[in-house]
Amino acid sequence: MSSHTFQTVVKIPNETLWIFLHSKENWHQVIPGYISHEFISDKVSTWKVKSNFGLIKKKIHFKAQIIDWKEFEKITFRITGISDKFNGHGRIETIKLSNHKTSIAVAFQLTAEGSIAKLIKPFLKSSIPEMSEESKYEFEQLIKKVATNHS
């Protein structure tokens, strides 16, 4: 099993962050290696991402299901591999720190079997840091832009 967390503080109101989260069509903009997605229902979607395992490039197809949605607080989800044998769960949590500052944390755990198990662990180790401090500014600007366009 592999567990990973991304946490940052963004200089935007919690309400603005949730405008971004509410429109699931925005989510692909923050997923590393994004190829495509399809929404099956309000709570179920499938995703394809391109992963880079050193010299090996692999497309991974998975299903994501929202388990719980607590507005302005938390989204919990389950992930199931379609192209490979893996499954997991995770959450996105936000905390209003002030009128113009919000803490956001994304945490998930994946369990993989077979050949994908050896490939996923390095991928997660390299992709999670990509979403950390160096991309915080871009993440923040994207949320502001999307929220402004939807206001």
Please choose, from the candidates 97, 91, 96, 94, the residue with its C-alpha nearest in 3D space to the C-alpha of residue 79: 91
CATH number, domain with residue 123: 3.30.530.20
Q: Tally the domains of the chain.
A: 1
Domain span holding position 100: 2-31+66-150
- In sequence order, the 6+-apart residues with CB closer than 8 A to the CB of 38 are 45, 46
Look at residue 151 in the predicted model and tell me its pLDDT.
56
> Is 138 within a domain?
yes
pLDDT tens-digit series, residues 88-108: 999 999 999 999 999 998 888
> Is 18 within a domain?
yes
> Is 115 within a domain?
yes
Mean pLDDT of 41-62: 83
> Is 51 within a domain?
no
Look at residue 46 in the predicted model and tell me its pLDDT.
96
> Is 121 within a domain?
yes
Look at residue 91 in the predicted model and tell me its pLDDT.
94
Mean pLDDT of 12-28: 86
pLDDT exceeds 90 at position 126:
no
Cα 75 to Cα 12: distance, rounded to the nearest angstrom: 19
Q: In what order do the strands lie in the sheet with 2-10?
A: 2-10, 101-112, 86-98, 74-81, 56-70, 44-53, 34-39
